[in-house]
Amino acid sequence: MLVIAGATLAITGVLSITALVVQLLWYDPACQPVAAWSFTGACGVLRLLVLLMLPTLAVGLVLVVRGLVLRRREHAG
């Protein structure tokens, strides 16, 4: 169950971050630099959303690892 939930969260995080980065790259006028600590304007909001999606990705990866460890312990014991 943890593996499924974690994989779902990780996939959601990856897809969301990818979509936001693509929007940053294709935004007109261009967001230069793409990676910056400025969170003002439309480019800044996109950067902030990328940062806010990182915990979703991290939690998903942690759940996948935790689920795999638990599954391995069940099969070993």
Domain count, the chain: 1
Residue percentage of the chain with pLDDT more than 90: 68
Q: What is the DSSP letter of 32?
A: S
pTM: 0.84
- Give the SS3 label for residue 41: helix
Mean pLDDT within 41-57:
93
> Which of 16, 5, 13, 17 is CA-nearest to residue 63?
5
pLDDT computed for residue 75 by the predictor: 87
Which residue in the block uniquely carries the two structure tokens 């790259």? 25
> pLDDT tier at 38 (50, 70, 90 boundaries)?
confident
pLDDT, tens digit, for every residue of 2-35?
A: 899 999 999 999 999 999 999 999 988 888 888 8
Distances (CA, A) of 10 to 34, 64, 65: 23, 8, 11
Q: Which residue range(s) make up the domain with 15?
A: 2-76
